Structure 1
Amino acid sequence: MAEQLDQQRIEKLFSTHVPDIDSVVVEYVQGYLNDAAKTIAATGERDATEDPIEDIIRPMLEDTGTDENGVSKLCAVFSQMLLDVEQQAGAQKKTTLSKLAAPVNMAAQLAQINKATKASQIGTTDLAHAKGRSVASQVDVKKLRKAEARIAAKLEKRGIRSRYEASKLINENPLDDDDLLMRVNPVLDYTSTRDKIKDVKVEGFDISFSGKRILTNANVHLIYGRRYGLIGKNGIGKSTLLRNIAYRELAVPTYISILFVEQEMAGDDTPAIRSVLKADIFREQLLRDEAAINEEIKKLESPEPLDDRGEIMSKHEIDAKKNEMGDRLNSVMTKLQDIESDKAVSKAGEILNGLGFNSSDFERPTKSFSGGWRMRLSLARALFCRPDLLLLDEPTNMLDIPAVVWLEKYLRTWNSTLLVVSHDREFLDEVATDIIHQHSEQLDQYRGNFQTFWSTREERRKNQMREYEAQMQQRAHLQDFIDRWRYNSKRAPQAQMKIKILEKMPELEKPEDDKVVTFSFPDAEKISPPVLYMSEVTFGYSPEKKILQHVNIDMQMDTRVAIVGPNGAGKTTLLKLLIGKLDPTAGMVHRHGRLRIAYFSQHHVDQLDVTQTAVGHLKNMYPGNTDEEYRRHLGAFGISGMTGLQEIRTLSGGQKSRVTFAGLAVQQPHFLILDEPTNHLDMESIDALTNALKLFNGGVVVVSHDERFIDSVCTEMWVCADGKVSKFAGEGIKDYKKMICPDAP
């Protein structure tokens, strides 16, 4: 009886009906059909409660995006093949009613269900881990889980449930969206994908989010080894595009490993350097295999080693087993040498040092770090893993200037593909080889860094406008001829020809005019000096550890100061002392009796009640004005129309920042103290904030890592480091960068 289906026929069917399907899916279906055929052959009939073709195979094939007609033909043939097995089994059952010599080992048969390939040298490959690093399965896991539940229930009745191994696709712990985004791709053997073409080319795709169209018939082409900067206005959908790529909702080849760094990692008791090393799952698996093989060899060297049945092994069996273990160990050791596993610890330490971690931090548990530092750990894990496609969303937001300089230098040597969302023009100039501009539901690609894009974009827009205006003139000329002569018997044929020309002419769209974004702070009333100063201020959260010592600063209404320095040096603490949120342990902070200070925190988003509207938030925080006045303040920062009446949770990060800026304006401040104000703003908004601060007639104190913003707004710089605050003697931010990083460009 033909319990084993014709594998060559199945492969031929796939190549005929769905030739572009992934070979991993082909292997999965082959294994699943064979197991189903064995089950039918053993029982003599199909289970009436399940249909392996319709419940498992058809949804899986449809989810891969292949031709539906081809899928239907395939499923029809597969159903017939299983029906033939059932008929043969029924015929044999009628003629042979002898008792089985031994019970059918259903567990052994069904344990192979959902296995994509046989055991490899370093473990067992399943559909989730095949072909290099991670394969994002196109299987509908919910449907697969439902089918596995039916199988499990059936085996439970037969008393063999405990030996059944379900698919690893559904056997893993469920992950929420953030865990899934931050999870490093499972790796089987990334050395096997080195010679594959890893370009990403997706054409004609649409993306929507919450009913809003993000991209329409868009195209993206990422060439392996190039570094792409993705830019666009706040709320345009840049992060949504990255998530779609990370979740493989776009057709990215399955052998290309992807890692998206967006959220901070969860904290636990794992030491920082160990969390980075664990990110390379392939290396971790090899080390586990090495330990397991050595343990097995150690057992074989005992006086009377036992086999799997618990019986004493013969000398011949021991020698054969040792040879097998030796071959496997050699293979594992070769792979460890190939990936330079012995250098992993020093490499992880170098990355952590570059991102601002001290050597003393390496053994600290990850849960002891703040959110910003855990975000750096996520970035360190990604850089350590070196995925084929690295996706970064505003990576410089949580970094100080030394770390930004180090990251720029590190990414310039990045050999894989990089796609980074950033509004930091200096960072994009240093890192990007190409720019992708997202606008008007489209993606436009430009060669070169941001500066090249900025000049090329304007020239391209002028050319598009010339083409559009020329076509409009031609259309007007044709239409005028048609209107004039279409009913004239002598000229009617010519008019008809003009109509056809007009119909066939491709319709060009008018290039979109850039909307000018403006921010506006109300004028501050004058107050006489002294306005704000510190005298011999010392502060520490504990007597043993002083953060700031003997600080003396004096600020007037025309002050324009940037405070720079490494993370953890006390910049934010200094701002909190200025606004009175912290009291000095020694010394004095003097604030004018009528002085109003508006403070922008770098964690302002966490302080918003996202269930409220923008207008409602201002009402609760700063009562006493009318709705119209609140909306006027919001409008001064680009939150106009119905946007001000939307729940804050529906706004982008940049729009939430604008709501916070509107709150500062409501306070009618004399001084603006801003901690990383550009973090979530797009380039147009950063320019608008820059202009607004230039026009503001009050004092401005800024903590920022944005070089262009500092140079444009501030007239002096203070360096906060080693517990002291001192005025920088250089000319500007570039001199400061060269001072702290001599090899900075």
Structure 2
Amino acid sequence: MATFVDILRNEFPQLDAELLQYVTDILDSGRADFESETDLFEAVGELLQDVSRDTKDDDDIRDICQRIYRAMHLENHQLPAQDQVLLQAPIQLSKISDSYEVDEKIQNVMLLKKDQSSTVDVKRLEKAEAKLKSKQEKRSERDLQKSTGNVVMEEASASQAASKKENRIESSGKNKSYDIRIENFDVSFGERVLLTGAELHLATGRRYGLVGRNGLGKTTLLKMLAGRSLRVPSHISILHVEQEVAGDETPALQSVLECDTLRERLLQEEKELNTKISAGRGDGSESLRLSEIYSKLEEIEADKAPARASVILAGLGFKHSMQQQMTKEFSGGWRMRLALARALFARPDLLLLDEPTNMLDVRAILWLECYLQTWPSTILVVSHDRNFLNAVATDIVHLHSQRLEAYRGNFESFLKTKEERLKNQQREYEAQQQYREHIQVFIDRFRYNANRASQVQSKLKLLEKLPELKPVEKDTEVILRFPDGFEKFSPPILQLDEIGFWYSSDQPVFKNLSVSADLDSRICVVGENGAGKSTMLKLLMGELSPVQGIRNAHRNLKIGYFSQHHVDQLDLNISAVELLAKRFSGKTEEEYRHQLGSYGISGELAVRPVASLSGGQKSRVAFAQMTMPCPNFYILDEPTNHLDMETIEALGRALNKFKGGVILVSHDERFIRLVCQELWVCENGGVTRIEGGFDEYRNILQEQFRREGFL
């Protein structure tokens, strides 16, 4: 078997001893860094091209590099085990790199650089060295990250073409329009291209729903707009509800009021002027300025601001007493609601919302739908909630195939229009294919007929001028499957009997709670945030012990649990494959990959750090982990958060086919209707069964809104 040195000697006889040794050292010390033939070509390809001059072209050099790579690969497998370890260990690579720079043989070759008669381009020698050194540094950095458990996250970037006219108008300050037109822009996340040559037109006063599969870049696009990486006219104010409010001693109501910076500034100035007058330090101009301030405060209706802020907070679930609590006393979920309240109160020209319903209960979602229907400026919202988009959106922007397509109407209108567009596109494509085939038959028939030569040429030109239509690209169907438990057993399966529970005795969460479920159950639990839904799930699982009463569970019951905060259960610094191997040892990598593939985490996604996955992809990893032991009963707390609509539909179908019991907490109306046969409402320290299902519950909430003046 020829070694890589033999291949070099045979293919490049013009290589003198020093230069051959130089190339050999590059290849030898870089063995562990070359992950493909391309890596090897990048390291020495240009140098070898320079050596061979006109005798070999680029394809020849690539073919030789491929043979060298294979030879090196075979040599690696034939090395003694201890030598293999030395070659593959990151610490040894760094030592090789260090010694490589001062090796005498390399110093000898470096003398060639000073010799102007050398047949090798000096710059290419330097380039080969630099490439190898860069690759070794990157590898060392990767190994260091693995050893320390740190993950370096990729960053998003955007680029956009702009005309001189647009730049001139923007810089002159004459652009007074609140419409947003962003044309011919690209968005990338690390090395992945999310959008290319895209266009986004947002008309003022319209409410846009941004939809698309998980991981395609919806959240990244919002961040690019919020950070003005994409050019939005400078006079247009933008608010992106992304992070929770930082906790401090500011009361919740005051935190919302502070968003109106003009009002706050005027009130502060009024206070300072009155203090100056009271202290007798005024110069007489204070009264005139106070008059101007009072006029401006009246103009912006400053006196009505506290009432407006209070209505927004109440709609989002903040009771009157909670509005006076300091922000540091709230949990992360409530601080996210507070961030949303601040944005609604501030009324920016462009409001960016990313899954706003994830943090809300059904009652707050219904209120938000009503509130946004009268929103005066522009909204761009990412949401998986079909009912929410149907109620709020006036337009839909569909992200797919690295581009954006706009549709008028709500989500249901979008589905109908999209289906019609796809049918028309397929019909046009098929008609053109038939026409092409008809012309091609004529060309093939008379290609060698001299009398028809001019007609054949005419037909060929006609074919060339036809626009290239593409067939419809069908989205791959999302399929989830929950493996059935192997045992069937008789009820009772799971019961809470006369349960009393509290975290502090003066605030009982449940009193005399009695509920039960079996292997045929499809139960949905709803209720306001803080009513005890998650606490009840933990009592059912046995994670919390009741203060009073008894929990009964069948001895063969095996529960699979999906937490509302499922990301907290995942180790973000390792890959999904490593995650399953760590949790369920003893299986092959192929088995772990198959399990993840069942939930849409396949190929490169399975070996990337979990931290780099989108929210929906992390949820899929959590599903794969939850179902690995094949439970016969599932308890799911907000399982639809972060999932795209197609995956939510697939999740609903999978739960309906599952031969076991299901209890879930959800705020997604369509999902509840798709899965659940029984509705429990958590309220007032107990659970009430709603006989009329979700329709009855919705009617109850709307009646409450009317009584409270929200509708």
Above 0.5 in TM-score?
Answer: yes
Change in Cα spacing, 1:298 to 1:507, as seen in structure 2 (3 Å) is farther
- Tell me, in whole angstroms, the C-alpha distance in 2 between the residues paired with 1:293 and 1:499: 85
Q: Which residue of 2 aligns with 1:588?
A: 550
Kindly report the root-mean-square deviation, in angstroms, between the aligned alpha carbons of the 2 structures. Answer: 2.7
Q: Distance in 2 between matches of 1:257 and 1:735?
A: 41
Distance 1:367 1:496 in 2: 79
Matching residue of 2:425: 464
1:260 aligned partner: 240
Task: Tell me the equivalent position of 2:215.
Answer: 235
1:221 to 201, 207, 223: 201
Q: What is the deviation of 1:453?
A: 1.1
Amino acid at match of 2:583: M
> How far does residue 694 in structure 1 lie from its aligned partner after superposition?
0.4
Amino acid of the residue matched to residue 250 of structure 2? T
Equivalent residue for 1:348, pick from 288, 295, 309: 309
Deviation, 1:523, is: 1.1
- Where does 1:709-720 land on structure 2 (aligned, <5 Å)? 709-720=671-682
Which residue in 2 is equivalent to 1:542?
504
- In 2: Cα distance, 1:64 partner to 1:616 partner: 39
2:413 matches 1:433: no
Query: Which structure 2 residues correspond to residues 137-152 of structure 1 after superposition, within 5 A?
Result: none
Structure 1 residues 64-79: aligned runs within 5 Å: none
Partner of residue 412 from structure 2, selected from 444, 451, 454: 451
Report what 2:265 is aligned to.
285
Aligned partner letter, 1:415? P
**SS at structure 1 position matched to 2:506:** coil
Q: Deviation of residue 333 (structure 1)?
A: 2.6
1:412 offset after TM fit, Å?
0.7
- Distance in 2 of aligned mates of 1:296 and 1:474: 87
Secondary structure of 2:419's match?
Answer: helix
Match of 1:651 among 597, 608, 613: 613
Q: Say if 2:249 is the partner of 1:269.
A: yes
Contact 2:161 2:183 in 1 (8 A): no
Counterparts of 1:481 and 1:557 in 2: how far apart (Å)? 67
* Amino acid in structure 1 at the alignment position of 2:352: L
**Alignment-derived partner of residue 611 in structure 1:** 573
1:627 Cα deviation after fit: 2.4
For the Cα contact (< 8 Å) 2:243–2:336, is it kept in 1?
yes
| Pairing partner for 1:521 from 482, 489, 492 | 482
Q: Counterpart in 2 of 1:508?
A: 469
User: Does the 8 A contact of 2:185 with 2:195 survive in 1?
Assistant: yes
Residue type at the aligned position of 2:428: E
Q: Retained in 1: the 8 A contact 2:446–2:456?
A: yes
Report the equivalent of 2:343.
Answer: 382
Aligned with 2:643 (options 659, 662, 681)? 681
Distance 1:567 1:402 in 2: 9
**What residue is the counterpart of 1:721 in the other structure?**
683
C-alpha displacement of 1:607: 2.0
Paired residues for 1:80-159 under 5 Å:
none
- Distance change >3 Å, CA 232–CA 530, structure 1 → 2: same
The residue type paired with residue 565 of structure 1 is G
Amino acid at match of 1:700: V
Partner of 1:151: none
Cα displacement (A) at 1:262: 1.7
Size of the alignment, in residue pairs? 547
2:347 is the counterpart of 1:367: no
How many angstroms does 1:70 deviate by?
13
Equivalent-residue separation in structure 2 for 1:362 and 1:241 (angstroms): 33
Name the aligned partner's letter for residue 513 of structure 2.
V
Q: Describe the superposition over 1:282-307 as per-residue Cα deviations: whole angstroms up to 9, x where unpaired.
A: 222222233344455556x44xx7xx
Instruction: Kindly state the Cα deviation for residue 741 of structure 1 after the two structures are TM-superposed.
Output: 2.0
Distance 1:420 1:678 in 2: 17
Query: C-alpha displacement at 1:332, in angstroms?
Result: 2.9
SS at match of 1:547: strand
Pair 1:595–1:202, CA change in 2 (3 A): same
**Match in the other structure for 2:86:** none
Shift of 1:544: 1.6
- Structure 1: distance between partners of 2:644 and 2:322: 33
CA distance in structure 2 between the aligned counterparts of 1:275 and 1:369, rounded to whole angstroms = 13
1:391 equivalent to 2:352? Answer: yes
| Corresponding residue for residue 22 of structure 1 | none
Deviation by residue 1:392-425 (Cα, 9 ceiling, x = unmatched):
0000001011101110110111111111100101
Q: 1:549 is aligned with what amino acid?
A: K
From 179, 186, 190, the counterpart of 1:210: 190
Moved more, 255-264 or 689-698: 255-264
Structure 1 residue 551, shift from structure 2 partner: 0.9
CA distance in 1, matches of 2:252, 2:320: 10
Check the 8 A contact 2:498/2:513 in 1, yes or no: yes
- Distance in structure 2 (CA, Å) of the matches to 1:377 and 1:491: 78
CA distance in 1, matches of 2:543, 2:191: 42
Please state whether the residue corresponding to 1:241 is helix, strand or coil: helix
Shift of the 482–370 alpha-carbon distance from structure 1 to 2, 3 Å rule, reads same
Residues 363, 616 of structure 1: alpha-carbon distance in 2 compared, 3 angstrom cutoff: same
Give 1:217 deviation, angstroms: 1.1
d(CA) in 2 for partners of 1:555, 1:594: 15
Aligned with residue 704 of structure 1, among 653, 660, 666: 666
Structure 2 residue runs of 5 or longer lacking an equivalent are 1-158
Q: CA deviation at 1:729?
A: 2.2
**Does the CA contact (< 8 Å) of 2:161 and 2:184 recur in 1?**
no
Alpha-carbon distance, 1:484 to partner? 4.7
Alignment match, 1:116: none
Q: Displacement, 1:236? A: 0.9
The offset of 1:244, in angstroms, is 1.1
Q: Structure 1 residues 251 and 475, CA, compared in 2 at 3 Å: closer, same or farther?
A: farther
Q: Identity across aligned pairs (percent)?
A: 53
2 CA distance for matches of 1:543 and 1:327? Answer: 58
Match of 1:541, SS? strand
Deviation of 1:373 after TM superposition, in Å, equals 0.5
Q: Which deviations, in whole Å up to 9, do the C-alpha atoms of 1:491-532 show, x marking residues without a partner?
A: 333333333333333222222112110000111121232211
Over 3 Å counting, the alpha-carbon distance change for 1:564 and 1:68 in structure 2 is closer
Cα distance, 1:214–1:544 mapped onto 2, change above 3 Å: same
After superposition, what is the alpha-carbon deviation per residue over 1:448-469, rounded to whole angstroms, capped at 9, x for unaligned? 1111111111111101111122
Q: How many Å separate the matches in 1 of 2:643 and 2:166? A: 48
Alignment match, 1:601: 563
Which residue in the other structure is 1:85 paired with?
Answer: none
Q: Is the 2:499–2:547 contact (alpha carbons within 8 Å) kept by the matching residues of 1? A: yes
Q: 1:98-142 CA deviation, whole Å, 9 max, x = no partner?
A: xxxxxxxxxxxxxxxxxxxxxxxxxxxxxxxxx9xxx9x99xxxx
Q: What is the Cα deviation at residue 537 of structure 1?
A: 0.7
In the alignment, the residues of structure 2 paired with residue 367 and residue 210 of structure 1 have an alpha-carbon distance, to the nearest angstrom, of: 36
SS of equivalent residue, structure 2 residue 514: strand
**In 1, are the aligned partners of 2:160 and 2:185 still within 8 Å (CA)?**
no
For 1:653 and 1:678, locate their aligned partners in 2 and report how far apart those are by CA, in whole Å: 11
Which has the higher mean CA deviation after the structures are superposed, 498-507 or 532-541? Answer: 498-507
Secondary structure of the 1:678 match is: coil
Do the aligned partners of 2:500 and 2:513 also contact (CA within 8 Å) in 1?
Answer: yes
Change (3 A) 1:64 1:710: closer
Letter of the structure 2 residue corresponding to residue 220 of structure 1: L
Q: Aligned match of 2:527 in 545, 565, 574?
A: 565
Query: Pick from 618, 623, 634: which aligns with 2:585?
Result: 623
Per residue, is there more helix in 1 or in 2?
2
